[in-house]
Structure formats: C-alpha cells, structure tokens
Amino acid sequence: MNQNGSNGIRFFSGESIPVELHKVRIVQKLHLKPIDERLEAIHEGGYNTFQLNTKDIFLDMLTDSGTNAMSDNQVSSMLQADDAYAGSQSFYKMEAALKEVFGVEYVLPVHQGRAAENVISQTFIKKGQVIPMNYHFTTTKEHMEVNGGKVLEIYTDEALKINSDHPFKGNIDIKKFKEVIDTYGAENISFVRMEASTNLIGGQPFSIQNMREVKKLADEHGIMFVLDASLIGENAYFIKEREEEFKNTSIKDILRLMCDFADVIYFSSRKVSSTRGGGICTNNKELMLKMRDLVVLFEGFMTYGGMSVREIEAMAVGLMETLDDTVISQSPAFIKFAVDQLDKAGIPVIKPAGALGCHIDAKGFLPHVPQAEYPAGALAAALFIISGCRGMERGTISSVRDENGNDILADVELLRLAFPRRVFTLSQTMFVMDRLKWLHANRELVGGLKFIDEPKVLRFFMGHLAPTSNWPEKLVAKFKADFGDSL
C-alpha cells in the first residue's frame, strides 16, 4: 500500500482505487429504513448518535472500537480458549504476542483501554500534578482529572489546522514541553503521554524523530514516558509511508522502535488487535509491581484481567496481524479515498487523511450554526436522518463545562465517520460520500442542537438533545422532494 491508496495495483483508467486484499466469508444483513423512521429514531435517541439502536442504522461508522472485522484465524483461535481462572494458556499466548510485537517483558491484562487509564492514573498521578501530552482522549482526561491531575496539551501549531499537508500533526511541540518542565518542575509532572494516531485531532500520527526528542528531554529530567498504543499499527504504517528515514524499515521494526521509547505502554485492544479488551505493558519490574495490585482489585486475576479468554486468544492472533501491511493499511486507504472524494467536492475535511476515520469539519460545513449550538452534533444527526449512517460527534458535546457551568468550546468541531478495518465495501463508502455531497448542497437547512438532559460525566455518551427549530422536518421534506421514494 502507498499514500495514493492504490495498494500498488494500478488501474487502466488511472484511478486510485483501494482494492481489498481480503474476501468476505461471514456477513451480517443490513437494513436501510425509510427516512421517516430514521427521523423518529434520532428523535427518540435525543439527537445523540450514541443513543441509536443498531436496528435503525444502515452503516455504523460510529467507531472502530471493538467493531473491526476479525480474521478467520482470529475467530478459529477462540475455540481453543483455556477457561482457567488462573494460569490460562490463552493469557500466555497473548503475553508472548506482546513480547514479540511490542518487545515488552511484563503484561498486565485489563478489560479495556480506559481500565488501563484508571490503573495508570491512580498509580502515578498525585493531586496537583500535570500531564503533558500531544492531545487528550476523552476517557484519558477524565481519569487523570478524577485523580487530581491536569492535562496539558502541547501539540504543534499544525495539529489543529483542518487543511494541512503536514505528515505528523500528532507530534509534541518540544519547545512547549521544555516550557512545561521549566514552569511546573519535573517533580510535578506525573509523566509525558504520547497517543499514537492521535484520535481527537483526526487520527493524526507522530514521527519517530519526535518520539526521540520527547524521550531525550524526558530522560534528562527523569520524567516517565507513557505511550497510548491503541492505534499504534496505523501510526507505524504512516511512519513507513511518510518518514524518509524509515521507508525501508519493516512495520515490525518500526513498532519495536516506537515501543522502546516508552516506560509504560497501554492500549485498547478494541482497536489495536480488532478484539475487545486491553492491556498495560512495561519492561520495568518496579513499575509493573506498582500497578499490579490495582489490576487484581479492579480488573480480575492476572491471567484474564476482566476479559473473556476467547477474546484473549483472538487478541494474540490480532496482535501478530498488526505486523501485516495489508491489515493495517486497509482502513487508512479507504479513509484516503473518502477524504479525496470529499475534498474534490469542496467539503471541508481534515487533511492529510489519517487513521480510524474520515473527519469532517463541522464548523466549515455548517458556518451558520454557532459553536454553542453544537455544529458537529447537528451534522451527525442530519447525516443519520438523510442516510441511515451513524457517525460520531467529536466537538463541544464531547467537551465539558467550566466551574461556572459554561461550555468549554472544543478546539475543533468534527463529525467522525469511522472506517473499522475491513468492514465496509467501496460501494457503501461511495453511498455515504454521495449523501454527504447532497447534505452539503442543502446545508443551510441544518440548524443547531441544545441539551435537554445532560449527565455530569462523559455527557456525550448518555446525554439527550433537541433541535433548536424544526430543521429536521424541513430537511426530510427536501430529501423527499429530491429523492422521491428512494431510501
């Protein structure tokens, strides 16, 4: 695979088309319900796509978390699972895979990524300390704050630009890292965190060179380096594609190199190995022992950590498959295809194309919707109404309020359309692109949203909203006028 998304396979027509290097062997039937039923469903769900029921959804592009397609080898491995509470052979296979792929000695299993964040935050954060990082993830920030820490985002000037050609928007700004050390003192920094294929800024990678510089500074001041490896495979793929020094290095060697910089690595295996679970790894016995008791307390015994042993078996296989270019390049190639299509149609979309999804700039798409009325949430609701496709709001609804109860407006308002690995076909991708182009042509019909029921923690999951006017009905009327009886 290469950056034009062509898989090295050229078409007579000259087009860049990502050819699937897998075939479909198990399928799940989908339904595209009529638009009136879609409107009713989003209304019932409080205009929050997390609250939709999959029976009402056509293409579920909410997330790649736990929704990637598993390989035949993964599914068949699940039958061999060893159901022991302690000493399960399934765990030792997973441990061996992590040793091989990440090059780590100690493995603590946890039930998913945020459980790792809980253990790491409780163990290493002292009240009043700061945690500098390239960018936060929702659950990461909550866990750190619950434990009395403060997240400091020290991204580069390129990170939040929608239209950029910078290959590594996930880099840490080294100058800002130095300033944080000078301002707070190394003793008040719990650790520095780098998130591979930085999720909330559009799945954007960092470079090895940047990791080197962060590590050097961290070591000089005795600061621990924590790597969120949930999307490490794709980040390694982008390093191979975009960082000159590594164009002839294997994905396996790049992954090892990335992991070698970190003192502690954690991951959501809902992402990295296309299963459902998570883990924490380190080569430092002392650090492992500091965390181990919390794993047993919150997650389960050391050889299952709250996970099903079937998932653990599949995780071992999935981790090894991370080394396969055709597995980890599939989602970026489809994302690139989608980004190119939208860009050509004048739809504002995060560039360069990154990992996990295609990210549409809702502020640019709906400039007439004030940020206080949640443009990314409104765009997600509108797209569902007109297509049955479920995306995820990644903007102010996913943010929090300040101590006075005012919304902290998000840096970017994004509608994320996730491309879980090897799940959607090209014609399904083209259907979403088509409906987005129609929505863009009719964007003035889309209005804002307001909260009617707002939970205090992670409100984007369970919150309910309502439209600020009857814009959804007007949108449906225009859809019917243009598409007649088409679904």
Ligand X SMILES: Cc1ncc(COP(=O)(O)O)c(C=O)c1O
Tokens of 114: 């945020």
C-alpha–C-alpha distance, residues 388 and 42, integer Å: 10
State yes or no: residue 398 binds ligand X (CB under 6 A): no
What is the smallest separation between the CB atom of 178 and ligand X, expressed in angstroms? 25
Task: Please name which of 240, 281, 251, 290 lies closest in space to residue 263, comparing C-alpha atoms.
Answer: 281
408: alpha, beta or left? (left if phi > 0; alpha if psi -120 to 50): beta
C-alpha–C-alpha distance, residues 87 and 110, integer Å: 16
Strand-pairing partners, residue 392, are 416
Nearest CB to ligand X, comparing residues 278 and 467: 278
Nearest CB to ligand X, comparing residues 6 and 210: 210
Whether residue 461 lies in the annotated active site: no
Nearest CB to ligand X, comparing residues 112 and 396: 112
State yes or no: residue 284 binds ligand X (CB under 6 A): no
Residues with Cβ within 8 Å of residue 47, at least 6 apart in sequence: 377, 378, 381, 449, 464, 465, 466, 467
State yes or no: residue 112 binds ligand X (CB under 6 A): yes
Nearest CB to ligand X, comparing residues 90 and 268: 268
Binder of ligand X out of 278, 348, 357, 388 (CB under 6 A): 278
Tokens 């029976």 belong to: 55
Task: Please name which of 176, 260, 174, 257 lies closest in space to residue 225, comparing C-alpha atoms.
Answer: 260
What is the smallest separation between the CB atom of 366 and ligand X, expressed in angstroms? 25
168 in Cβ contact with 134 (< 8 Å)? no
Element housing 266 (H / E): strand 264-268
What number of other Cβ atoms are within 10 A of residue 103's Cβ? 17
Whether residue 394 lies in the annotated active site: yes
Whether residue 64 lies in the annotated active site: no
Tokens of 373: 């009325």
Question: Given the rule CB under 6 A, which of 81-89, 268-276, 337-345, 399-407 is the region that contacts ligand X?
Answer: 268-276
Nearest CB to ligand X, comparing residues 278 and 447: 278
Question: Given the rule CB under 6 A, which of 146-154, 270-278, 290-298, 393-401 is the region that contacts ligand X?
Answer: 270-278
Residues with Cβ within 8 Å of residue 182, at least 6 apart in sequence: none
Binder of ligand X out of 60, 95, 173, 195 (CB under 6 A): 195
C-alpha–C-alpha distance, residues 100 and 392, integer Å: 34
Nearest CB to ligand X, comparing residues 230 and 331: 230
Binder of ligand X out of 6, 68, 210, 230 (CB under 6 A): 230
Binder of ligand X out of 49, 71, 129, 199 (CB under 6 A): 199
What is the smallest separation between the CB atom of 471 and ligand X, expressed in angstroms? 30
Q: Which of 67, 123, 138, 139 is catalytic?
A: 138
What is the smallest separation between the CB atom of 114 and ligand X, expressed in angstroms? 3
Whether residue 228 lies in the annotated active site: yes
Whether residue 138 lies in the annotated active site: yes
Strand-pairing partners, residue 453, are 464
Question: Given the rule CB under 6 A, which of 110-118, 125-133, 235-243, 252-260 is the region that contacts ligand X?
Answer: 110-118
State yes or no: residue 114 binds ligand X (CB under 6 A): yes
Q: Which of 38, 93, 141, 271 is catalytic?
A: 271
What number of other Cβ atoms are within 10 A of residue 232's Cβ? 27
Q: Which of 11, 85, 461, 483 is catalytic?
A: 85
Tell me the residue length of the chain: 487
Binder of ligand X out of 141, 143, 270, 390 (CB under 6 A): 270
> Which amino acid type is present at position 434?
D
Whether residue 85 lies in the annotated active site: yes
What is the smallest separation between the CB atom of 446 and ligand X, expressed in angstroms? 27
> Which amino acid type is present at position 28?
Q
DSSP string, 449-475: EEEEE--SSSHHHH-EEEESSSHHHHH
C-alpha–C-alpha distance, residues 99 and 256, integer Å: 10
Nearest CB to ligand X, comparing residues 226 and 323: 226
Question: Given the rule CB under 6 A, which of 99-107, 136-144, 174-182, 471-479 is the region that contacts ligand X?
Answer: 136-144
C-alpha–C-alpha distance, residues 325 and 12, integer Å: 24
State yes or no: residue 228 binds ligand X (CB under 6 A): yes
Query: Where in 46-85 is the site for ligand X (CB under 6 A)?
Result: 65
Binding site for ligand X (CB under 6 A): 65, 112-114, 137, 139-140, 195, 199, 228, 230, 268, 270-271, 278
Q: Which residues are catalytic?
A: 85, 137-138, 228, 271, 394, 460
